């Protein structure tokens, strides 16, 4: 009876999933890179170049999304989700792309969608309701992308747009109240903090771009829509006036990740016109945007919960700063062929160190 009550007890999903995601992010990136370079041979599944991107998006980012959106969840359900996720990871380490790993991933994706999609679908405002199809698409892509490398390669452009849309919405909903709280402490009421019209325009542009991507038609129009979406994100940032918050590193790092998102979405559109943008777009979205936002938001949520002050632990800013350095090095690598390998290894080192520091922050706040 006591064991049953313990399993049914609800806990915050982030308490388990944020540390697990941080640990995996710290390890999987260097392991996948050295496996691809042939420097280790005991994890054959990670040697495929597509596994590197797959595990970052559908391994690390998926778990962070679960930790952020699930909220209070029964321990039993969280155990099942974690078990499915771990089995999917083990399958990838040993088999690479394989239907078995996809089957386990589908189980975790179903549990996320079952918990989150209905709640957002009942929202009154259409912008809030848009999270439901975004999460459903994340779940669907998670379930099918791991079955085969060619399937993943075909789905990656779709996944980047869906992730960008989710970061655009959720990142904005994190930043807006933080800015409002900042001004409230100065006895100033901040008006129009969410910028709903700008948010709506960005979501529409990204949705139309995603639709054209799926239909594989009108690539020029799709490129223009994504360029427009990147511009809209930049306009949203400028309207928030980030230079006013130079005394608040916690806010500046949120803006750094959001600027990475603007750059990433802009490059997703630009690659339809300038081929060299193809070398930068994926890593702009996954490292400059996703990596920086993941670390900054995970640290912020955890530190604020315990200390009521996002700047209470300076090491959380060190983690975010290391991810910014990782993004800069990774984006410079294709542009500077002579320094490609040193920049690649620098990016890998900063990435792993950043998540290691984040893990220490999560441990101190456990």
Q: Which of 105, 115, 151, 107 is nearest to 135 (CA)?
A: 115
Q: Which of 77, 75, 69 is nearest to 14 (CA)?
A: 69
What is the structure's pLDDT at 51?
85
User: 343 and 327 in contact (C-beta within 8 Å)?
Assistant: no
Does the pLDDT value for residue 92 go beyond 60?
yes
Determine the 3-state secondary structure of 188 from DSSP. Answer: coil
Per-residue pLDDT of 290-333, as tens digits, reads 999 999 999 999 999 989 999 999 999 999 999 999 999 999 99
What is the structure's pLDDT at 276?
85
User: 214 and 157 in contact (C-beta within 8 Å)?
Assistant: no
Per-residue pLDDT of 96-117, as tens digits, reads 899 999 999 999 999 999 999 9
Cα distances (angstroms) measured from residue 355 to each of 26, 308, 318: 5, 22, 10
Mean pLDDT in residue range 140-161: 94
Low-confidence winner among 3-12, 268-277, 303-312 (lowest mean pLDDT)? 3-12
Q: What is the dihedral of CA 77, 299, 318, 333, to 10 degrees?
A: 60
What is the structure's pLDDT at 95?
86
Tokens matching residue 317: 């800013």
Tokens matching residue 220: 């020029």
User: 222 and 209 in contact (C-beta within 8 Å)?
Assistant: yes
Per-residue pLDDT of 179-222, as tens digits, reads 988 888 887 777 667 788 999 999 999 999 999 999 999 999 99
Residue 196: count of CB within 10 angstroms of its CB? 12
What is the structure's pLDDT at 33?
78
What is the structure's pLDDT at 41?
72
What is the structure's pLDDT at 47?
76
Cα 213 to chain centroid distance, Å, stands at 20
H-run or E-run covering 273: none
Does the pLDDT value for residue 3 go beyond 60?
no
Per-residue pLDDT of 27-62, as tens digits, reads 998 888 777 777 777 777 777 778 888 999 999 999
How many CA atoms, within 13 angstroms, populate the side-chain half-sphere of residue 185? 8
What region, left, alpha or beta, does residue 74 occupy, with left being phi > 0 and alpha being psi -120 to 50 degrees? beta
Mean pLDDT in residue range 220-244: 96
What is the structure's pLDDT at 186?
81
For residues 354 and 291, what is the distance between their CA atoms, to the nearest angstrom? Answer: 10
Structure confidence at residue 14 as a pLDDT band (50, 70, 90): very high
Per-residue pLDDT of 155-168, as tens digits, reads 999 999 999 999 99
Determine the 3-state secondary structure of 43 from DSSP. Answer: coil
Tell me the CA end-to-end span of the chain in Å, nearest whole number.
Answer: 27
For residues 298 and 309, what is the distance between their CA atoms, to the nearest angstrom? Answer: 14
What is the structure's pLDDT at 360?
96
Per-residue pLDDT of 255-269, as tens digits, reads 999 999 999 999 999
What is the structure's pLDDT at 242?
94
What is the structure's pLDDT at 45?
75
What is the structure's pLDDT at 7?
66
Averaged pLDDT of the chain: 92
Cα distances (angstroms) measured from residue 168 to each of 31, 206, 336: 30, 10, 30
Whole-structure pTM value: 0.94
User: 188 and 244 in contact (C-beta within 8 Å)?
Assistant: no
């Amino acid at each position: 009876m006591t064991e049953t009550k313990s399993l049914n007890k609800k806990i915050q999903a982030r308490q388990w999933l944020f540390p697990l995601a941080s640990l995996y992010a710290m390890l999987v990136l260097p392991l996948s890179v050295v496996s691809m370079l042939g420097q280790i041979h005991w994890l054959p599944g990670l040697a495929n170049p597509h596994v590197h991107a797959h595990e970052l998006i559908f391994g690390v980012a998926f778990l962070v999304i679960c930790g952020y959106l699930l909220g209070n969840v029964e321990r039993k359900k969280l155990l099942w989700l974690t078990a499915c996720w771990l089995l999917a990871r083990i399958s990838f380490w040993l088999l690479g792309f394989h239907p078995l790993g996809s089957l386990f991933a589908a189980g975790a994706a179903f549990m996320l969608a079952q918990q989150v999609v209905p709640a957002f679908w009942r929202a009154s405002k259409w912008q809030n309701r848009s999270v439901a199809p975004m999460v459903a698409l994340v779940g669907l892509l998670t379930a099918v992308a791991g079955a085969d490398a060619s399937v993943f390669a075909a789905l990656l452009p779709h996944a980047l747009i869906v992730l960008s849309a989710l970061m655009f919405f959720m990142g904005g909903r994190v930043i807006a109240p933080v800015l409002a709280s900042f001004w409230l402490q100065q006895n100033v009421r901040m008006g129009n903090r969410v910028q709903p019209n700008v948010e709506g325009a960005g979501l529409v542009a990204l949705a139309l771009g995603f639709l054209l991507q799926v239909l594989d038609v009108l690539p020029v129009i799709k490129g223009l829509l994504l360029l427009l979406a990147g511009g809209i994100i930049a306009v949203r940032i400028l309207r928030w006036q980030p230079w006013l918050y130079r005394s608040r590193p916690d806010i500046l790092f949120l803006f750094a990740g959001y600027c990475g998102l603007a750059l990433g979405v802009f490059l997703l559109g630009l690659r339809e016109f300038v081929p060299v943008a193809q070398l930068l777009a994926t890593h702009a979205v996954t490292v400059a945007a996703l990596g920086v936002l993941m670390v900054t938001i995970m640290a912020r949520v955890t530190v604020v919960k315990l200390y009521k002050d996002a700047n209470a632990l300076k090491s959380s800013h060190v983690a975010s700063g290391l991810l910014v350095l990782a993004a800069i090095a990774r984006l410079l690598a294709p542009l500077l062929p002579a320094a490609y390998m040193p920049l690649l290894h620098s990016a890998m080192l900063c990435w792993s160190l950043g998540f290691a520091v984040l893990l220490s922050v999560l441990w101190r706040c456990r």
